[in-house]
A and B are shown apart, each in its own frame.
Chain A
Amino acid sequence: MFDYQFLIEVLVGGLLSGVMYSLVAIGFVLIYKTSGVLNFAQGAMLLFAALTFVSLVERAISFPLAFAITLAIMVVLGVSVERAVLRPLVNEPPITLFMATLGLSYVIEGAAQLLWGTQVHGLDIGISDVPLDIAGVFISRFDLFAATVAGSLVALFALFFRYTRTGLSFRAVADDPFAALAVGLRLPRVWASVWTASGIVALVAGLLWGARLGVQFSLSLVVLKALPVLVLGGFDSIAGAIIGGLLIGAIEKLAEVYVGPLFGGGIEAWAAYVVALVLLLVRPSGLFGQKLVERV
């Protein structure tokens, strides 16, 4: 007989880990929406934030203070990226900017590990990982917590984009940079704040992922999990990032459990990419991405 309870357990586990992917993907979407750059350095920022936080905590600095200091460092990082990388490359083709962020990811990764060392740090954010038993389905408490944090972050961003001046200017720049410039929005300032915002997302995601995997170099590879999510949802849609994350999380786990054994397992590494690719062939700009209209 088919084990439905197990199916639901796998599905819920997948959806919850999908939320973690969404969290990383949102950092990408923020930057892509406002500056048209696929920021490959998001993973490096995540590593940098988590590593800084952990190292501060290990030097006997309290949690809130460490959080505040890391936040401040991410702000400085965001502003200096805008100054040193984005501003000189303004008006370059997007793919050039993408390659610049590749270089940036090397710089940040190298700096993070040069500064704080390469050993693995444990990160305990005080959430027990005893599974919760809901109607016979076991759900990880940590996953639930992560999903709640991610969910509230998304809600916060939604409010921010709708009701604050800065949020509105983000949307204006995303909609049409030239028109935004014409009505007097300061692009450099918007970019600096959007990089800061994605730095904050990186910090939150880095702490959650770090608590899960340990804070180490491989944390920066989390971006590779987020890329199919982006492709699936469309690079410029926050809603897409969330739904894409949920889909990828669920598909990945289901594929690993039900299809994986046919290939001898371990298909998690590429299953998401294949799903994203197949979808792309049908909808070249993802589920929720804007259609590109090209002028000749």
Chain B
Amino acid sequence: MSAAPLTAQLSPGAGAFAIVVGAAIAFGAVPLFGSDYLMDAVLTPFLALALAAVGLNLLTGYAGQVSLGSAAFLAVGAYATYNLHLRLPQLSLIVDLVLAGLVAAAIGIVFGLPSLRLRGFYLAVSTLAAQFFVQWALTKFGWFSNDNPSGVIDAPVLSVAGVTFTSPAGRYVFSLSVVVVATFLTLRLLRSQSGRNFIAVRDHELAAKVIGVPLLRTKLLAFGVSSFLIGIAGALWAFAYLRTVEPAGFNLDRSFQILFIIIIGGLASLRGAFLGAAFIVVFPLILSRAGAALLGGVFDSGVLEMSQRIVVGMLIIAFLIAEPRGLIALWDRLWRVVTRPAAIRNT
């Protein structure tokens, strides 16, 4: 689970070393030497989607409550940040982000209330209510988008304490910092009693109740924290990546995309969320290159989109059949194969 297997086989010193090297590459080498395209079109959306997937994974992977309304909470986060920034300009952007996360959490808790009585499909369907209601409200009420006729909002300049993040590198570093902090806090939560309670509720609700897990609090906490994370991811998606968003951008397909990330990456694994997000971002790029190289002109954008749908759908089915624990299980297996011979040689 979580980051344990990656560092478990290394000595503590080597683990710390790996983290330092990783941080140096992510915060130092990438923004210094990476191309704008890499950061703008690959890494920033990857970070936003990964954070959203971490949020959904907490709810679906750990606490076992399937949600099809993630995009609604992305939208809430984005529009809340926008409005806080617009209407309370004296607040710092970080405070805006946290407050927007809290708004998303509050709405998540409201739409999580049915989970107390519903399970499985009935719950999954009821989360669709959030999806449609939020999208409708954002389009219908001009206040949310400052009376833009089609509900479009433009990103404010990202700036914290006088430092602005407008370049692709700046927006990447900003997203990275937010994602690292949020992921770290999630990791701590999952290792606390509340995190264990999530898993207990997922594995057997009735048994969890019998041994004294507070169902009400646990489920609502899962919905709240998950929506909080997804809300912040939405703000990143809107302001660090796209910079102009409309409610239609947060449609059901986006919700499914995030669900697919955690299925492909691996349920109940934070690293899985990152792997899955990386896959979902990079895969269309590879497919379009490969398709153009193999088929040439026949492979236009329409064909690309459709074949992408087909391949993603097939992958979902294939993963569910062959490796329900997702990419992360493959990764761990690979890691073991790579490290084991070295360990044998050393002894």
Contacts and interface: CB of A to CB of B under 8 A. Distances in A.
A98 B315 contact: no
Contacts of A292: 119
A152 interface: no
B320 interface: yes
A263 B140 contact: yes
A132 B210 CA distance: 61
A106 B316 contact: yes
Nearest to B139: A266
A49 to B, nearest CB: 18
B335 interface: no
Interface string A92-132: 10111011101111111111011000100000000000000
B203 to A, nearest CB: 11
Interface string A277-293: 10011001110000010
B114 A280 contact: yes
Contacts of A45: none
B263 interface: yes
Contacts of B302: 113, 118
A267 B132 CA distance: 10
Contact of A106 (B126, B135, B204, B312): B312
Interface in A238-266: 263-264, 266
Given A103-B320, A266-B136, A280-B114, A227 B312 contact: no
Nearest to A227: B125
Nearest to B204: A296
A277 B125 CA distance: 9
B317 A100 contact: yes
A103 B313 contact: yes
A279 to B, nearest CB: 11
B114 A281 contact: yes
A85 B129 CA distance: 28
B137 to A, nearest CB: 9
Interface string A66-106: 00000000000000000011001100101110111011111
A280 B122 contact: yes
Given A227-B125, A294-B206, A106 B309 contact: yes
Contacts of B170: none
B117 A281 contact: yes
Contact of B66 (A95, A106, A270): A95
B284 interface: no
A104 B317 contact: yes
A118 B317 CA distance: 24
B72 to A, nearest CB: 11
A95 B129 CA distance: 19
How many residues of B sit at the interface, in one of the four size bands? 35 or more
A38 B122 CA distance: 10
Contacts of B256: 102, 106
Nearest to A269: B132
B306 interface: yes
B324 interface: yes
Contacts of B215: none
A114 B126 contact: no
Contacts of B114: 277, 280-281
Contacts of B194: none
Which of A89, A102, A267, A294 has the largest count of B CB atoms less than 10 A from its CB? A102
A273 B133 contact: yes
A168 interface: no
A231 interface: yes
B22 interface: no
B307 interface: yes
Contacts of B133: 270, 273-274
A96 B320 contact: yes
Contacts of A284: 117-119, 122
List the 4 closest pairs (A to B, CB-CB), nearest first.
A103-B316, A106-B313, A110-B309, A107-B313
22 contacts: A38-B121, A38-B124, A84-B317, A92-B320, A94-B120, A98-B66, A100-B317, A102-B316, A106-B309, A106-B312, A107-B309, A228-B125, A231-B126, A270-B133, A273-B129, A274-B129, A277-B126, A280-B117, A281-B114, A284-B117, A296-B204, A296-B210
Given A98-B124, A107-B314, A224-B132, 18 more contacts: A38-B121, A85-B317, A89-B321, A98-B66, A99-B263, A102-B316, A106-B256, A110-B313, A111-B306, A118-B302, A231-B122, A269-B135, A270-B132, A276-B126, A277-B114, A284-B117, A292-B119, A296-B206
